[in-house]
Each structure stands twice: as structure tokens, then as C-alpha cells.
């Protein structure tokens, strides 16, 4: 029984370690009207059909990918036509999001949620507008 508990704990910790997003909280600075790449990496997925990627800004869906393709039916209207995942990178553990034509209302905290056959994890990325860095550094 003691071995079973230790083995279970070991595998639980291993699972958490394998699915942990590898980047600390990061900040992306972008010029008005420019493009921003929001990085998000995870332990590589073996099956793209079991991979779920969901980018959010608060409660707003920025971009979703599951069942092997983009799923944009619930995407927030202000993000339509302005987001892109690098699909060839997904199986390598890269769920970075390209956000184009960045506007002042895009500034804030984004969350990348990843679920695959190994578990779930998330990462937060802050987007700030160029010229606003000093304001954010004083907080």
C-alpha cells in the first residue's frame, strides 16, 4: 500500500511537470496597429485531435482550436479576422497566437489554456502598447 501511494504521487507529480507551461508571466509590447505574438508553450502533444487550445481575454474568446482545427464560432467580434495560430507548430508544443492590427482596447491580460492527453495548464500574457511601458513599470 505504501509503495502504491508513493507511485501514485510520483506519477501525479510527473504529469503536472510534463504539462506545465514553460514560460513565466510575460509582457508583450506592441505599437498601435502593429502585430503581437503572444507566446504559449506546453509539452508536445502526440495527437492534434486531442489538443484543445483556448485563448481568452477575460471572459471573451480570442481564439479556439480543437478537433484538429480552428473553432471560431464563439470568438469575440472584435477579434474576428485578427488572430492566427501557427498550426504547424502545435504538435511541437507551441500554441503562440498572432494578434494583428492591435488596438488600444486589446491592451490587458490574455490567458492561454491548453488541454491535451497529458492534462491541462494555462499561462497569462500581458499586452501593453508601446509608450505605456513606464506606466506599467511603476505599478
Cβ(34)–Cβ(102) under 8 Å? yes
Task: Measure the CA–CA gap between 114 and 134, rounded to whole angstroms.
Answer: 32
Confidence of residue 44 (pLDDT cuts 50, 70, 90): confident
Please, is 61 exposed, middle or buried when counting C-beta atoms within 10 Å of its C-beta (0-12, 13-18, 19+)?
middle
86 has pLDDT over 50 = yes
What percent of the chain stands above pLDDT 70? 77
pLDDT level of residue 46 (50, 70, 90 thresholds): confident
Average pLDDT, the chain: 84
Helix or strand holding residue 16 (H, E): helix 2-19
- Is the torsion defined by CA of 57, 35, 126, 31 positive or negative? negative
Task: Give the domain ranges of the chain.
Answer: 2-137
pLDDT digits (tens, 9 = 90+) for 98-114: 999 999 999 999 999 99
Distance from C-alpha of 82 to C-alpha of 24, rounded to nearest angstrom? 25
Please, what CATH class does the domain formed by 2-137 belong to?
mainly beta
Residue range 47-68: average pLDDT?
97
Residues pairing with 112 in the sheet: 55, 123
Whole-model pTM: value is 0.77
The answer to whether 38 and 99 have CB atoms below 8 angstroms apart is yes
The predicted-structure confidence for 3-20, as pLDDT tens digits, reads as follows 444 434 333 333 444 444
Three-state secondary structure readout of 67-135 = CCEECCCCCCHHHCCCEEECHHHHCCCECCEEECCCCHHHCEEEEEEEEECCEEEEEEEEEEECCCHHH
Convert the pLDDT of each residue in 116-131 to its tens digit: 988 999 999 999 999 8
In this predicted structure, the answer to whether residue 1 has a pLDDT above a threshold of 60 is no
Task: Tell which phi-psi region holds residue 130, choosing left (phi > 0), alpha (psi between -120 and 50) or beta.
Answer: beta
Amino acid at each position: 500500500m505504501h509503495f502504491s501511494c508513493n507511485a501514485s504521487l510520483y506519477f501525479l507529480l510527473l504529469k503536472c511537470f510534463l504539462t506545465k507551461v514553460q514560460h513565466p508571466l510575460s509582457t508583450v509590447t506592441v505599437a498601435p496597429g502593429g502585430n503581437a505574438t503572444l507566446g504559449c508553450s506546453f509539452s508536445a502533444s502526440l495527437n492534434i485531435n486531442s489538443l484543445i487550445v483556448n485563448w481568452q481575454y477575460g471572459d471573451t474568446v480570442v481564439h479556439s482550436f480543437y478537433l484538429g482545427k480552428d473553432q471560431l464560432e464563439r470568438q469575440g467580434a472584435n477579434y474576428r479576422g485578427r488572430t492566427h495560430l501557427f498550426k504547424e507548430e502545435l504538435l511541437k508544443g507551441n500554441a503562440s497566437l498572432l494578434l494583428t492590427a492591435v488596438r488600444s482596447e486589446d491592451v490587458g491580460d490574455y490567458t492561454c489554456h491548453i488541454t491535451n492527453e497529458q492534462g491541462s495548464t494555462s499561462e497569462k500574457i500581458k499586452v501593453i502598447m508601446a509608450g505605456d511601458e513606464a506606466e506599467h513599470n511603476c505599478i
